[in-house]
Amino acid sequence: IPIVEKKVANRVSKAVDALIAAEPKGEESYFVTGLPMAEDTFGIEMFHQMGISAPVAAMVIFLLMLFFFRKLILVIAPMGVAILTILITMGTLIATGNTVHIMSSMIPLFLMPIAVVNSVHIFSVFFDRYQIYKDREKTLKVVMKELFTPMLYTSLTTLVGFGSLMTAPIPPVQVFGGFVAFGVFVAWLLTVTLIPAYIMLFLPESKLENFGAVIDEKSSKARSPLAELLIMSGSFTRRRATPILLVTAIVLGISIYGITLIRINDNPVKWFVKSHPIRIADTILNKHFGGTYEAYLIFEPPATPQTLHRELEPTIHFLDQEAQSTEPAMASIIATLKDRLAAREKGEAAAEKPNPINVLEGLSQDLDKTTADVPEDNVALWDEIDTLSAGLEDERTSLNTFKDPATLRYIAKLQKHLAADPVVGKTNGFTDIIKKVNMELLGGKTEELRIPDSPAMVAQASLLFQGSHNPDFIWHLVTPDYRRLNLWLQLKSGDNRDMESVVKDTEAYLKNNPPPVPLNHAWAGLTYLNVVWQDRMVRGMLMSLASSYVVVLLMMMFLFRSILWGILSMIPLTVTISFIYGASGLIGKDYDMVMAILSSMTLGMSIDFAIHYIERARELYNMTHSWPKVSEIMSMAPARAITRNAIVIAVGFLPLLLSSLTPYKSVGVLLATIMILSGVGTLLILPALIEKMQKHLFKRIKEDEETAVDIDPVSMTIRVESEER
């Protein structure tokens, strides 16, 4: 079913379903599929899924925070920040005139975890500190002093990660990246303003009486299983730093190998689960018919001012010959036509694609005007004029590139070559019409299923087809001036890599078998368009990821005032990205749109934990000058904050696995993987690296000769005592 634009595909398919439903039921089955329908239907279903998945994810996150913080009134605030962030961002997107397309509709899903992360950090540290001070204001000041800088930089790095997408050469990606970056800023601003205000206004001391971690816990019995596990992991990283780093190196090596196996590919039909009617129809129709995926290969002669003049040279030569006529008046007529020819050539040369047929059609009109006053009784002159007119028509016909039998035979050979490709189910072209009509003209003999031997016979076959029941169909395959030909390919697969293989095979054939006349060619169609989109997306995303990685690295060096600490902070991020890409390559998962977009989120979320860990660890080391003591403290409250964040986001988005759309499933799995790997990388790899590199990392920190700081790792209280050296 040919449609004018993709956005009507779903409506057309529903109309077809209505017609099918009106038919008497029989044993036959009806199937409707195709790329336009898949892409349009996906856009519609995604909005429906968004209305289900986003609230479910929000609800799970809400319940997890309630489990961790145990106060309903407390966890309302982070959810309020997330909802406000999404409303402000999406409202701004729509108010600025942007369309809510497939990518921008996913903005709420990405903003939900980002908006919650900082709030969870604040409440997690507030939860661990409150019982020390038993005063909201004092606790809040301590918390914000400790977290403000890390939260600022984690938000900036996330903003840089998504903001870098604005450099991608695809407008929808630019809009997505720009508005997620804007949402990150909004989330940070709301978090550092509304959350403290909410605590002071809506959380009186009376409601916080039993709130927070118990500070007098001296034994493991008083600690939660999570806290006990984290304390054990802190001790483990000090004792087993070498094995941890060795395993990390092995995993990194395997991941790098897996990255070399990554297969860049996508197919909009595969955005639906296998049980979806579109997927079922796609499988059945491609099994029984030529193919449901379409691509078009367009041929035309070169169109430049130089080729225009070259194609008009025979006409100029013809006019010079006609100027030698014995009729004196013909010289004047020819001179006028040559002047008009030069003027029309100059005008046509300025066109985007100069066409000599336009010049000759205009010249025929000039001839009619020039000879309008010639007396009808001047028979000899009119004979010369008729000869001139017929000659100009012959010149024009000679420019009909695709009436030339040799050129059409070349196209037919290309079709035969393409038909041998297992991906290509069928090719349809102007050549098929001409061969079929020629066979019928010559008695229906199969040996006459061929291209006729002259342009006149080709023109006759074309004219006869135009007298059939579907005369306009021919113009889908060739233009009326016979200078552009459309070769219509039906493919059995819509995978971008399969389309790419057809393109490469065709390009190789055209290079090794040049056409009889100069021809330019270009690809078109949704299947090919997806390949172009993917190529630009991948290149754009990789450039964005690389540039933002460098920017984040420089930001880390600036934040920690150290090249070494800056590089160290990037290790969990590097391991996370490498593992995700490497695992995808090893298991054969295609690198698609979702993976490309989530790379930006990896950049922000992975570095988030590292910043909080390193910033706090350096602060504690400045006070204790003892890495073992710092490591023990870091395995308590800071580790709990990081772990809570990782669990909240990872588990919160697992409900996306229930979606009928595979990109949503991918978002759920990849987000959970990103959070888990980032948390593990921060809590295991970073301390192991610091354990081995502490002499180099802390060499700038000198002990104070007058005082020493003793930190009780359980209560997190600080006692400063004078010591005699």
Question: Which tens digits make up the pLDDT trace of 90-102?
Answer: 999 999 998 887 7
Q: pTM (2 decimals)?
A: 0.79
Report the alpha-carbon angle 197-200-204, nearest 5: 150
86 pLDDT above the threshold of 90: yes
Bigger pLDDT: 678 or 161? Answer: 678
Same-domain status, 353 and 469: no
- Where b means 16+ CB within 10 Å and e means fewer, 280-295 reads ebbeebbeeebbbbbb
Instruction: Classify residue 269: in a domain, yes or no.
Output: no
Query: From CA 546, how far away is CA 601, in angstroms rounded?
Result: 14
Same-domain status, 538 and 559: yes
Count of alpha carbons within 13 Å of 399, Cβ hemisphere only?
A: 27
Same-domain status, 612 and 554: yes
Work out the pLDDT band at 432, boundaries 50, 70, 90.
very high
**What mean pLDDT comes out for the span 659-673?**
84
Same-domain status, 58 and 152: yes
Contact 628, 238 (CB under 8 A): yes
* Domain limits for position 419: 282-292+403-524
Instruction: Classify residue 91: in a domain, yes or no.
Output: yes
First to last CA, the chain: 90
- CB count, 10 Å around CB of 422? 9
Contact 401, 413 (CB under 8 A): no
Same-domain status, 43 and 184: yes
| Token pair listed for 435 | 């061969």
Looking at residue 600, its pLDDT comes to: 67
Query: Which residue, 468, 501, 524, sits at the end of a domain?
Result: 524
Instruction: Classify residue 241: in a domain, yes or no.
Output: yes
In sequence order, what are the residues at sequence separation of 6 or more whose Cβ sits closer than 8 angstroms to the Cβ of residue 142? 129, 133
Domain count, the chain: 3
| Token pair listed for 52 | 């289900």
Same-domain status, 391 and 538: no
Domain of 92: which CATH number? Answer: 1.20.1640.10
Same-domain status, 367 and 452: no
Instruction: Classify residue 59: in a domain, yes or no.
Output: yes
Query: From CA 476, how far away is CA 58, in angstroms rounded?
Result: 50
| Token pair listed for 118 | 């900082």
Same-domain status, 456 and 384: no
Work out the pLDDT band at 311, boundaries 50, 70, 90.
very high
Looking at residue 709, its pLDDT comes to: 53
Phi, psi of 483 (to 5 degrees): -115, -5
217 pLDDT above the threshold of 70: no
Tens-place pLDDT, residues 356-372: 999 999 999 999 998 88
103 pLDDT above the threshold of 80: no
Instruction: Classify residue 268: in a domain, yes or no.
Output: no
Sequence-ordered strand ranges (E) for 243-387: 263-264, 293-300
Work out the pLDDT band at 8, boundaries 50, 70, 90.
confident
**What mean pLDDT comes out for the span 442-460?**
90
Min mean pLDDT across 210-219, 609-618, 666-675 is at 210-219
Same-domain status, 28 and 58: yes
Q: Which of 338, 334, 340 is nearest to 322 (CA)?
A: 334
Instruction: Classify residue 432: in a domain, yes or no.
Output: yes
Same-domain status, 222 and 334: no
Instruction: Classify residue 15: in a domain, yes or no.
Output: yes
**What mean pLDDT comes out for the span 373-393?**
88
Query: From CA 301, how far away is CA 355, in angstroms rounded?
Result: 10
Looking at residue 348, its pLDDT comes to: 92
Same-domain status, 536 and 624: yes
Same-domain status, 395 and 407: no
| Token pair listed for 466 | 């135009």
| Token pair listed for 594 | 């979702």
Work out the pLDDT band at 710, boundaries 50, 70, 90.
low
Query: Which residue, 524, 554, 582, sits at the end of a domain?
Result: 524
Instruction: Classify residue 342: in a domain, yes or no.
Output: yes
Percent of the chain residues topping a pLDDT of 70: 94
Query: Which residue, 476, 493, 524, sits at the end of a domain?
Result: 524
